[in-house]
Structure 1
Amino acid sequence: MSNAPAIPELLLNIARNPITAAGIPLTLGVLSGLPTRKVVRGQWWNSLYKAPLQPPGYAFGTVWPALYLSMGYASHLTAKALDAAASNHTTDDLNLGLQLYYAQLGMNFLWTPLFFVAKKPGLALINITALTGTTYYLTKLLHDATDGATTLFMAPYCAWLTFATYLNGTTWYLNRGRYVRKFD
């Protein structure tokens, strides 16, 4: 018997279906990003000092949907591997991997409101640092358990999160103390 707690059946069923597995993160990402458009046109965002490697705004609308679909498909591959798992060790890793997947999805969903709506880049930096670490760990954990299949879909997300953490951290560092109450 496995020692790891099983992932709730609802979350496992979402991941089992490739449409819902990819659609849930995409939908959550779109919903989370809706308020961003207004904020990036406003005074607060436009007054901030930005990272030297800050990409143009349209890049985010291109990159994130692809990453959401990719991470969602990785969750689907994980659920398929879990259904076919032969050993308790593999089952434990896959269960934990899916639990961490949903945890990182929640952290991902919270980042945009923290940064753009609450205008708290420091708090968002804590969130994205935890998100990035969790995502790297779950990618490593799932690599062996899925014979590397999920890594192909998670590696671009890990790379982008690293870059996004740099952008968040640099923006926080360059603007610390400037925006606390200025534009609320």
Structure 2
Amino acid sequence: MSLFANLSNILFTIPRNPVTAVGLPLTLGLLSGRSTKDVTQTQWYHCLYTSPGRPPARVFPVVWPLLYVAMGYASHLAVKAYDSSASDAVRNEISLGLGLYYTQLACNCLWTPLFFDYKQIGWALVDSILLVGTSFYMTKTLDAPTASKTTYLLLPYCAWLSFATYLNGGIWWLNRNRTLNKNM
């Protein structure tokens, strides 16, 4: 079996079990965001001009786990649809959707270190734009093959990502000409 076939098999195996399907994005989200609380206590973060409409900090640790659970369960539903389909066209569509799922998951995990750890607001915005585009495309791709079941789970995620991209874009725009000490 080729390396690609082994990797593909692993990427389909994880979401077959609902526990691992939900556990993967929850775990990755927790790991990628572990330094966020510390950075939000720094002078660098408090000196940033922020976008209007930014929710209170206490909202984020509630919203993100819910979105990760929904995203993970959507991957489980997609693999269930894949396993029950006899149509090569449907299976190919779901395979593309799962490829997009893992792509957006990687972008999601990259955003927090870019923004908070490396303080690269502009690169975080680029990542966020890619994340939004990939997530909407994934949602659209998985809609028909899963009879819209995944769409109900993924649309709140897409909406939140759009809002988060607005926040990131506003922070970048408002601070683009400022010199901020990234060591603070």
Give TM class, smaller chain: over 0.9
Single out whichever of 43-52 and 5-14 deviates more from structure 2.
5-14
Task: Indicate yes or no: 2:110 matched with 1:104.
Answer: no
SS in 1 for 2:52: coil
Q: 1:114 corresponds to which residue? A: 114
Q: Give how far 1:56 is off.
A: 0.6
Q: Distance in 1 between matches of 2:157 and 2:53?
A: 18
Query: CA offsets, 1:115-164, max 9 Å, x none?
Result: 00000110000001000000000100100010101001101000000000
Q: Give how far 1:11 is off.
A: 1.1
Tell me: CA distance 1:103–1:135, structure 2 relative to 1, closer, same or farther (3 Å).
Answer: same
Q: Distance in 1 between matches of 2:86 and 2:139?
A: 20
Quick check: 2:101–2:138 contact (8 Å CA) kept in 1?
A: yes
Query: CA offsets, 1:68-109, max 9 Å, x none?
Result: 000000000000000011211111100000011001000000
Q: What stretches of structure 1 move > 2 A for 4+ residues in a row? A: none
Quick check: 1:44–1:179 contact (8 Å CA) kept in 2?
A: no
Q: 2:49 corresponds to which residue? A: 49
SS in 2 for 1:8: helix
Q: 1:155 corresponds to which residue? A: 155
Tell me: CA distance 1:34–1:11, structure 2 relative to 1, closer, same or farther (3 Å).
Answer: same
RMSD (Å) for aligned C-alpha atoms: 1.3
Q: Distance in 2 between matches of 1:31 and 1:138?
A: 23
Structure 1: give runs of 5+ residues left out of the alignment.
Answer: none
Q: Give how far 1:6 is off.
A: 9.8
Q: 1:74 corresponds to which residue? A: 74
Q: Give how far 1:177 is off.
A: 2.9
Q: Which AA in structure 1 matches 2:31?
A: L
Tell me: CA distance 1:162–1:6, structure 2 relative to 1, closer, same or farther (3 Å).
Answer: farther
Q: Distance in 2 between matches of 1:12 and 1:151?
A: 19
TM-score normalised to the size of structure 2?
Answer: 0.94
Tell me: CA distance 1:115–1:175, structure 2 relative to 1, closer, same or farther (3 Å).
Answer: same
Aligned residues: 179
Q: Give how far 1:7 is off.
A: 7.0
Quick check: 2:119–2:182 contact (8 Å CA) kept in 1?
A: no
Quick check: 1:135–1:158 contact (8 Å CA) kept in 2?
A: yes
Structure 2: give runs of 5+ residues left out of the alignment.
Answer: none
Q: Which AA in structure 1 matches 2:182?
A: F
Q: Distance in 1 between matches of 2:177 and 2:27?
A: 34
Q: Distance in 2 between matches of 1:141 and 1:159?
A: 17
Q: 2:143 corresponds to which residue? A: 143
Q: Distance in 2 between matches of 1:90 and 1:53?
A: 41
